[in-house]
Amino acid sequence: MDFAKEVQAKTEAINELIEGFLPEEEKYPAKVIEAMNYSIRGGGKRIRPMLMHETAELFGGAGVAVEYFMAAIEMIHTYSLVHDDLPCMDDDEYRRGRKTTHAVYGEAIATLAGDALLNYAAETALGAFDSDCDKYLVGKAVRILFNKSGIYGMIGGQTADIVSEGLKSEEITAELIEYIHLKKTAALIEASMMVGGILAGADKVQINALEKIGRNVGIAFQIQDDILDVTGNFEELGKPVGSDEKNHKVTYVSLHGLDKAKADVEALSKEATVLLHTMEGDNPFLEQLLLSMIDRKK
Amino acid sequence: MDFAKEVQAKTEAINELIEGFLPEEEKYPAKVIEAMNYSIRGGGKRIRPMLMHETAELFGGAGVAVEYFMAAIEMIHTYSLVHDDLPCMDDDEYRRGRKTTHAVYGEAIATLAGDALLNYAAETALGAFDSDCDKYLVGKAVRILFNKSGIYGMIGGQTADIVSEGLKSEEITAELIEYIHLKKTAALIEASMMVGGILAGADKVQINALEKIGRNVGIAFQIQDDILDVTGNFEELGKPVGSDEKNHKVTYVSLHGLDKAKADVEALSKEATVLLHTMEGDNPFLEQLLLSMIDRKK
């Protein structure tokens, strides 16, 4: 099977798995549950649960336990999008060609649906205590998941991103851009790989390596985003090329130049691959998946 | 010591305890951490952590473990207030005589601060795995906490409350009002008592009784709120008497009449006390605290 088809098949399997974890609609909070499920069903490639599953497979798999976490991390990712789209944040009416949650259900229900998804992510991940996985590992995985989604992870990145919008160009440092890339995007990629590894019994050295791989891939993904804004073409990107430059947006490329940006992506990618090869197991699909996140044209 | 002074002393001790669990301010997400801490420091009587602590004491105490949960439940209660005050929800500029979080930090940061408090509540409660408390009990307590705060608990009640604002008076049933009282208020009271009991080693029958006590007290608290709106006086309430009636608001009193409302509060309160007396231990302060939540003039 070719890679693109394999990704598609795995995405569909994950969609089915997530569907099984969605809350049942009850009489009175029906509205918020409807909005939660609408948001989750918005799709995407389910890259985080996929990375989590494939990382667990690299260490021989983690049985049913990892499924709870695959659903939970997608709920966390989804809640962050629902709140990010709100009028007081990015104010987006469409996402992936579909009305955003607040555009359909109103701001109040969208705010509650985001809260509800984060809360339900905790409930779902904690459900893994019912699996036959070692309780110590489940506890460790839940803690990593929430640590990487909170103020020292994803929410920290979101905050820095919001705050940076109020800054003058000259106030935006390379350090700040790196922090945003690291926290806003890389944190959940790190969590995906670490949780997969933890549940499958990877040791401490391996978990640290997984964190580093996730970090490299997440940061390279974001730099690539900035590169494509300069070098991509309209058909592939689906948005005007050079829009960052036109908006005088400070990016990795505007700070470091295109050559260094490309070289850094290359180096981050190389290091991730080398680290992946230090692992005992072997999962060629995982390697391809990681590289596809970096080496992309759109 | 008289009861009011004892409550005050305990509130101060809890404030100090919570202070020790607040996140340290880091460079880039400083804004959101500042907003989280501002929200938490807004105060109140800390009734939920107090109930949790006193319930644990009833069963001989729960050591350090309960402290993580006392801080966590106050973070959950606080995030719900921060989001509730947002312009798209109740649009309140003041709470307890102090500017609300969005009035100080803006809507975007207030939304993120609410998310961050909920996420940090999970991180904080999970910290109890580091205590010497039985890991099984900690896991059980975290699950109860998040179940009672989610769509089948507090968020469910918030949703029904928001949805009910768009309904005509004749569409608001006694069942709906009861659901809102039960979920919006009672759920976290139930969680407070259950978590305290679980961590201190209470058995299943006792945990069920604690849930029922919390439910009765939570519901009675809300009915009493509706009663006071009719019978209270301006000085004690600090707001105009009869404002529900003027706003044609459907309340427990408008649905069932003042006499039945008073009788129900009495019956709920009586049942809670009887159940409390079935417990092996004895904590007179807890009993007084529960009754003070029901039998109040403001």
Complex confidence, ipTM: 0.96
Chain A contact present for B92, CB below 8 A: no
pLDDT at A250: 87
Of residues B165 and B124, more confidently modeled: B124
**Backbone region of residue A43 per phi and psi (left: phi > 0; alpha: psi in -120 to 50; beta: other values):** left
Using pLDDT thresholds of 50, 70 and 90, give the confidence band for residue B187. very high
pLDDT number for residue A119? 98
What is the model's pLDDT at position A235? 66
pLDDT tens digits, one per residue of B196-253: 999 999 999 999 999 999 999 999 999 999 999 888 876 666 666 777 777 778 899 9
Written as six digits, the tokens of B257 are 């009449």
For residue B151, give the nearest of A33, A87, A142 by CB distance: A33
CA dihedral A139, A143, A149, A153 (to 10 degrees): -150
More confident site: B245 or B260: B260
pLDDT at B235: 67
Separation of CA B120 from chain center: 17
- A28, A146, A179 ranked by CB distance to B156: nearest: A28
- What was the pLDDT predicted at A239? 67
The reply to whether residue B86 touches residue A111, judged by beta carbons under 8 angstroms, is yes
Report chain A residues whose CB lies below 8 A from the CB of B115. 79, 83, 114-115, 118, 155
- What pTM does this model have? 0.96
Q: CB B156 to CB A29 under 8 A?
A: yes
- B3-294 in CATH: which number? 1.10.600.10
Q: Name the residue of chain A whose CA is nearest to B179's CA.
A: A28
Q: Give residue-wise pLDDT tens across range B62-119.
A: 999 999 999 999 999 999 999 999 999 999 999 999 999 999 999 999 999 999 999 9
CA distance A185 to chain B (A): 15
Question: Judging by beta carbons within 10 Å of its beta carbon (0-12, 13-18, 19+), is residue B4 exposed, middle or buried?
Answer: exposed
Supply the pLDDT for residue B238: 66
- Do A124 and A72 contact (CB within 8 A), yes or no? yes
Question: Which one of A21, A115, A173 would you mutate to disrupt binding with B, by most B Cβ within 10 Å of its Cβ?
Answer: A115
Write out chain A residues lying below 8 Å of B126, CB-based. 139, 142-143, 146
Write the pLDDT tens digit of every residue in B25-39: 888 889 999 999 999
Average pLDDT over residues B12-33: 93
User: CA of B213, closest CA in chain A: separation in Å?
Assistant: 23
Q: Which residues of chain A have a pLDDT value below 70?
A: 234-240, 298
